[in-house]
Structure 1
Amino acid sequence: MRVQNLTFDDWLEHSFGREVRFQQAPWYFDPEHDWWDPPPIEAVSHLTRLFEDPEPALRGFADGQIAQGLTYLVNTSASGDSRWLCSTDVPVKDRVRCVKSVAALFAKLFEPRCTPALSHLSEADVGTLNCVCYMWWDAFPSLAIAGDPNLPILHDCALRTMERILYLNSIACQESALHGLGHWQRHYDEKVPQIVDRFCEAHSRADPRLLAYAQSARCGCVL
């Protein structure tokens, strides 16, 4: 059933308050599940508010529920691309603010809660939120479509946001940003190497496995 006109608190409960099933598909794959289908401007507003200040919003939800809820909301492999962020009905300043707010989500949620493990190596001690963190930019909705005059602004904002995340004190967050940059290298083959080179120069004593992954991202060789 299509769900609209949810308050912010009701939306949080709808998205994050579900049971995390053991060895079963999540609720959003059920044939008759409810799905949130608001106007794009409302969706961007709720997402921005959550990303900018996730701690009070997500207090009371377990990491598994948070991972499941974020996957439902922003992973296009879970519920498709709802085209909220690429909607030209939303003022570009609000779309830019939403993209920028992802850095706050990483700093306030993923940095303190993700384990210091590398997901691309399938390490055994990867935490519940690490996979969502790692796949964030790989599965994130489209920011703009061809013909949108604001596409360069939004893409530049995303690249700058990934670069900010690179400087968090979290190997999981750094890996996520490199993963995203690796996928963007195809279209930004000058900017991405520059971002990666700055990171490697500033973090020459980082984990050698992370630095090796950075070199893969630099040339777009990530999965």
Structure 2
Amino acid sequence: MIGKGRPKICVPIMGDTQEKLLAQALKASQSVADIVEWRVDYFETVSSLETVLATLTELREALANKVLLVTFRTKEEGGEQEISLADYRQLCLEVAKTGAVDLLDVELARVEFLGRGFVQELKATPVKLVMSSHDFKKTPVDGDLVFRINVMKQLGADIGKIATMPQQLQDVLRVMGLPTKVRGFNQLPVAVMAMGDLGKVTRISGELIGSVFTFASLEEASAPGQIPVEQLAPILDVLHVPEK
């Protein structure tokens, strides 16, 4: 269960063709990762919804032993491709309706434009929502980050995700303190991470700070500072705090 004990490890697969994706999925299925994220924005035929859904079916079968997270990361938040708001909405809804995906990443900034009705349609499907916010340039002030998590909760997120780019050590420490800061008045499970080399400590300290999952690289990183999965898993094991 996400949110209990050691943070779950998520690895991205980012192939631009179905053949590459399925090869990556096979490797991911044999890894120690708990969650596999399909970064659809890397897929060269993402404009064909039929192809996307057919590929999703193949991935679900290949990753039967893993939690499957589907993400289209927009260009504005560090993704590979542009997408219109209407196409983003349709893609998310059609993916959710398949029942083949466990978790769906929806960006807070897109949800704020698309409204509560969009979230309600998604919540009518079996999928759980990871509502995310990314800043690849800086780490916003604490009040801004806390506000974002509160809005995620109000909009119906099942898990909140905050990723920022630290400019100094203090930024990293602020991100690490975020789950504790919001826990008193907001019980939304959150995953927080500071990117880049400076923020690597946030990718291993989840159990201590209350961050429910962390990203590791399988073949290549989807964000700066990700640690290879085979290196990350034993570190998390060493840092695990047994229940008394």
Q: Same fold by TM-score, threshold 0.5 exceeded? A: no
Question: When you count helix as a share of all residues, which structure comes out higher?
Answer: 1
Higher relative contact order (CA 8 A, sep 6+): 2
TM-score range, shorter chain: 0.3 to 0.5
Question: When you count strand as a share of all residues, which structure comes out higher?
Answer: 2
In the superposition, the TM-score normalised over structure 2's length comes to 0.34
